[in-house]
Amino acid sequence: MKITLKLLLTTLIIGCFQLAFAQKKTPQTVEELWKKYNPKSEKLNVEVLKKWEKDNGNFEYIRYDLGKLTGTNKSASPKISAYYGYPKGAKDAPAILHLHGGGQRAELSRVEFWVKLGFACISINWGEKEVESGLLNTDWDGLAAGFIGNSEQLGHWNDVTPGPNTLYSEPHALNSSWNLVAMSGRRALTFLEKRPEVDAKKLGVEGHSMGGKLTVQVSIDPRVKAAAPSVGGSGYLYEDLWGLPGSKRGMREDQEYYKQVVDCQSYWPHIKAPILFLGSTDDFNSPTELVIKGMQQLPVKTERILVLAPHLNHRFTDNTDASRFVWMYSHLEGKLKFPKKTPSTLQLKTKNSIPVFSLKPDQSSGLPVKKVEIYYGYGRDPRVRFFRSAEVKQNGNSYEAECPVFDIDEPLFAFANITYDIGFEIPARPGRNATNFITVSSEYQEAYPEMLKSAKVKATEHRQKKVDDFKNGMQDWYTLFPENRQHWFYSTRKVIDPSFMGPEGGKLKIQVETNEAGNKIAVEIITNQWLSYLGRRTEEYTALVDLPNNGLNTIELSPSDFQTKGGKPLKDWDELTELSFQAGWKAKGKQKADEKWKGDSPALKLIQWEGGDYSKWRRFYPHEKRNNQSIQKVINFENEFQDAIEESVKLEKQDEEQ
C-alpha cells in the first residue's frame, strides 16, 4: 500500500512538472521569457577584427557570439559585431551600451564621444548593415532580425507570429526581432563587465528610436545601473489615443500575446535602474501621453525623469540632449547630483476660470536654476500638437502661468521645462553644440473635458489674425541648422492650433528679411500629418516665392499658390498641420530655384492672415472628419512611419556633416 501511494504521488509530481514545463515552452509574460535566461552562461568567443588608437582612446571592432538558439522552426548561432572603445589608461571606468536606431548601424562617433567623456562604450551593430568594408559583420545566421535581406524575409520581424525565418513555427516571444536584439544587448553587457578597464558595477544603456525601445527592454537586466532611452519604448502603441478611435497601430495576428511579451508596456514594471526618458513633444514613435503611461508602470522606488524637447519630432535641443550624458555622469560616476522630478499642479478652479500651471523647481541637486518655461496645448494627437509658450510669473522659487482654453470640449496638456547650470561643459557632438546646461521636464499634467467642465473652466481664447510677430524670437518654432546658409530650415505647428487656423478666403501674409537681393524661398505646408486613421492622407504643398529685396520682403499667398509635386493646388487652410521655410533650391515641390541661397540665413519678421471671413469658420479640428474625406486616398500608416524613419536618418547624416 505504501509503495502504491508512493508511486502514485511520484507520478502526480512528475505529471505536474511536465505540465508546468509545457506551459513554459511558450512564455506568456516578460518575466517567464527571461526568468531562466543567463547572458553569461555561454562563452562570448570575442573576435578582435581591428584595433586602433585615436586621441585619448583605444578602439576595437569586434564580434561576439549571441549563443545557440534552438526553436521548432530553426536553430541558429548568431554573431554580433560592434565598436568598442575606452579611455587610454582607464581603470574601473563606467561603461555604456549604445543601441542604434532604425535604419542605422553601430556608431563609432557615439563610442568616441563617450570615450571623450571618460566612459568605455560598446555600440552593437544589431541592424547588420556594413560598417567595416572587408571585415566580418553581424550574422543573424538565417534569422529575421536585422535590416538586410528584406526580399528574403530576413529583415526586422516585429511580430510574434511565425514566418519562414523565425525561430519558432508557432507564435512565440523569440520570433520577434525585438527580443532577439535585446538578448544581443544583454550579451554586450556581459562583454563590458568582463573588460579589465571597466567597473562591472557601473554599466549604463542608452539608445535612440528603435534603440530607445531596446533600451527599455535591456534595462530589466539587473546589471544596468542607469538607463536613458530616447523617442522609443513608450509601449501602448497598439491602443487608441484618447478621443481618437482608430489611431492605434495595427497588427493582424497575436496582438494580445505581443503586448504581453514584446511591447514595452510589459517591460516597464520590471525596470529597477534609474531611467531618464528623452522625448520630443511631437514625436511620431513615442507619443507623449503614452510615454507618461509607460513610465507610470515603473516600480514605485525606481527613480525616473522625463525630458521633452518642445516642438520637435525625433530630435532634441542642445540642453535636452545633454541631459542624458549628465544622467550617466550622476548615476555611474557620482560626480554630481541630478535634479529630481519636479512636481507640478494644474489648478482648474480659479477666480477667473482660467487654468493655472504652477511648480517649484527641484533644487536638491544644488544646481542653479537658469530658466523655467511653461508650455500648454490642446490637440488630441500628440504627434501634431502645438504647445504654446505661457507667460511665466516668478515669485521667489515658485513659478506659475495661466493656460487659457479655446474649447472646453477638448483636453488641455501642460508641463514645464527647467534649465539648470551644471558648471561644466558637455562638448559638441554631431548635430549639437557644446553646452553648460541641461533641461529637464516637470511632472506632466493632463486635463480632459469632463475635468474642465466640472471645474467650470471657461473658454477664453479666440481666433487670432496674427500668427507670429517674432518678438519672442523663434520660441514657437523648431529650427534645423539655422546658421547654415544653405541648409537652414524653420518650421512650426502653430497653424494647427485653433486660434491660429486660417480663415475662409483669407491670404497668408509673410514678411522675411534677407541681407542679399534676388533669392527664392520655399514656403511649404504639410496637411493631415499622422492622421491617416481619419481616411485622409498626408500631403506636402510648396510655394516657390521670389525675394527681390536686400532687406524686408513682403509676400501674400492664397491656398492655390501652394501645389504638390503633382501640381495639385491646396484647396483651403482647413487641414494644415505644419508650416515651413527653407532655401528655394531645396524645395520639395515640382519647382526648385536654380541658384543656391545668397547671403546669411533669413529672418522671419511677421506671419499673419489677411482678409477672409472668420464668421463662417466651422469648428474644424485635426481629428474631425471632413465632408469630402471619402474622396481622399488613404495612405498606409506603415508607409508614413517608414518615411519618417528615412527623414530622421537623413537629418542625422546632415548633423554629422555640419
Predicted confidence band of residue 151 (pLDDT cuts 50, 70, 90): confident
Are 58 and 112 in a shared domain? yes
Are 508 and 613 in a shared domain? yes
Are 301 and 229 in a shared domain? yes
What is residue 509's three-state secondary structure?
Answer: strand
| Residues 6+ away with beta carbon under 8 Å from 292 | 306, 444, 446
Contact 422, 379 (CB under 8 A): no
pLDDT in tens, 376-435: 999 999 999 999 999 999 999 999 999 999 999 999 999 999 999 999 999 999 889 999
Note the pLDDT of residue 431. 86
Q: Which residues pair with 543 in a beta bridge?
A: 523
On whether residue 110 sits in a domain, the answer given is: yes
Are 311 and 391 in a shared domain? no
- Of the residues 299, 333, 367, which one is the last residue of a structural domain? 333
Note the pLDDT of residue 398. 99
Predicted confidence band of residue 203 (pLDDT cuts 50, 70, 90): very high
Predicted confidence band of residue 1 (pLDDT cuts 50, 70, 90): very low
Of 312, 437, 463, nearest to 384 by C-alpha is: 312
On whether residue 601 sits in a domain, the answer given is: yes
On whether residue 385 sits in a domain, the answer given is: yes
On whether residue 247 sits in a domain, the answer given is: no
Cα 595–Cα 601–Cα 605 angle in degrees, nearest 5 = 115
- Of the residues 333, 355, 388, which one is the last residue of a structural domain? 333
Rounded to 10 deg, the angle between the 210-218 and 177-194 helix axes is 60
How large is the average pLDDT for residues 277-281?
Answer: 99
Q: Which three cell numbers stand for residue 390?
A: 505661457
Res 20 pLDDT > 60: no
Name the residue with higher pLDDT: 168 or 4: 168
Alpha-carbon span 234 to 290, nearest angstrom: 6
Are 267 and 416 in a shared domain? no
CATH code: domain of residue 132: 3.40.50.1820
Look-up of cell digits 507623449:
288
What is residue 376's three-state secondary structure?
Answer: strand
Alpha-carbon span 525 to 541, nearest angstrom: 5
Note the pLDDT of residue 642. 56
Phi first, then psi: what are they for 630, rounded to 5°?
A: -70, -20
Are 442 and 528 in a shared domain? no
- Of the residues 397, 428, 454, which one is the last residue of a structural domain? 454
Note the pLDDT of residue 633. 32
Of 176, 173, 257, nearest to 165 by C-alpha is: 176
Note the pLDDT of residue 591. 85
On whether residue 475 sits in a domain, the answer given is: yes
Of 169, 190, 178, 245, nearest to 217 by C-alpha is: 178
Contact 493, 508 (CB under 8 A): no
pLDDT in tens, 577-604: 999 999 999 998 788 999 999 999 999 9
CATH code: domain of residue 439: 2.60.40.10
Are 28 and 134 in a shared domain? no
Query: What average pLDDT does the chain have?
Result: 92
Domains of the chain: total: 4
Are 410 and 540 in a shared domain? no
155 DSSP assignment: B
On whether residue 81 sits in a domain, the answer given is: yes
Are 318 and 361 in a shared domain? no
On whether residue 338 sits in a domain, the answer given is: no
On whether residue 199 sits in a domain, the answer given is: yes
627 DSSP assignment: T
Are 487 and 366 in a shared domain? no
Are 384 and 285 in a shared domain? no
Are 325 and 189 in a shared domain? yes
Alpha-carbon 12 to chain mean position: 52
Note the pLDDT of residue 626. 54
Can you give the residue range of the structural domain that contains 357?
344-454
pLDDT in tens, 50-69: 999 999 999 999 999 999 99
% of the chain beyond a pLDDT of 90: 86
Helix (H) or strand (E) holding 244: none
Pure H helices in 226-329: 255-261, 288-295, 318-328
CA-atom Rg of the chain in angstroms = 27
Of 199, 224, 186, nearest to 302 by C-alpha is: 224
Note the pLDDT of residue 11. 37
Alpha-carbon span 388 to 399, nearest angstrom: 17
Note the pLDDT of residue 650. 62
Q: Give the number of other CB atoms < 10 A from CB of residue 392.
A: 16
How large is the average pLDDT for residues 332-337?
Answer: 94
Predicted confidence band of residue 653 (pLDDT cuts 50, 70, 90): low
Contact 442, 415 (CB under 8 A): yes
Alpha-carbon span 66 to 182, nearest angstrom: 11
Q: Is beta strand 93-99 parallel, antiparallel or unpaired with respect to 198-208?
A: parallel
